[in-house]
A and B are shown apart, each in its own frame.
Chain A
Amino acid sequence: MANAAKPTIRPLSPHLQVYRLPLAAVLSITHRITGVGLTLGMLVLIWWLTSAAYGPDAYDQAMTYIASPLGLVVLLGFSLALFFHLSNGIRHLLWDAGRNFEIGATKRGNVFVIISTLVLTAAAWLLALV
């Protein structure tokens, strides 16, 4: 019992509410959130296609909503989510192939995914507006 008074420093369990998530973990949960969001966003695509099948009047009405400020914000969010899920999804496929598991490669991958998301989204909107 000689060591009884000596304080022992033990690692604390990283509980979600008191633990600052590393960037890789933030991107991981973002992959899921964007996946669910894109599933809901696909309903806008279905609405658009269906309106075209119903005829010019329905199509024009749908386009009025899509081209409205709120519609454009939704489309911007959809495109950001889409390109993030695409970029991070490619990273997941590389992980599935057993590559890029090292800490350095994972950190570079984080940066690559974020830059790729922003560049692809910007490129898509420039393509539309040019």
Chain B
Amino acid sequence: MFASGNLRSPLGRARGLGSAKEGLHHWWAQRLTSLALIPLTLWFVAGVIHLALGGEPYESFMAWIANPCTATLMILFLGVSFHHAQLGVQVVLEDYVSCHAWRTGLTIVTKFTCYGFATLGIVSTLICCFGG
């Protein structure tokens, strides 16, 4: 069944569905984003929780977000967490959705949605900083 020195079956070779050689990059990207998210998440919760729960007015939020360091960390948090989220949801879809068409379709929808919302959050942050 297997040619010597080649562990792939003839059917596997004919279909061309071998490793896409991108698994390592996905794995590494998920680990790097999670590492970055440890400090970013702690900063995010510490910064946001007063504004979200303390009944602070609009002006307090605008003064907070307009700080260059706050805006930078918020944009980093949005970009990194949505990147991490779409990598994670992709793995969940690959594990639980067996139909190839559904799996591919949902993965594409996930990636488009995550990057769309990340961009919306980043643009909103910038508008709050520079004035609309």
Residues of A within 8 A of B (CB): 32, 35-36, 38-39, 42-43, 45-46, 48-50, 52-56, 59-60, 66-67, 72, 75, 79, 82, 86, 89-90, 92-93, 96, 124-125, 127-129
Counting chain B residues whose Cβ lies within 8 A of the other chain, the interface size class is 35 or more
Whole-angstrom distance between the alpha carbons of A52 and B38 in the complex? 26
Residues on B with C-beta less than 8 A from A54 are: 132
| Cross-chain contact A79 with B45 (CB below 8 angstroms) | yes
| Cross-chain contact A128 with B49 (CB below 8 angstroms) | yes
| Residues of A contacting B: mostly | helix
Residue B88 at the chain A interface, CB threshold 8 Å: yes
Q: How far does the Cβ of A39 sit from chain B's closest Cβ, in whole Å?
A: 4
Residue B16 at the chain A interface, CB threshold 8 Å: no
Residues of B67-126 contacting chain A, CB below 8 A = 74, 78, 81-82, 85, 88-89, 92, 114, 117, 120-121, 123-125
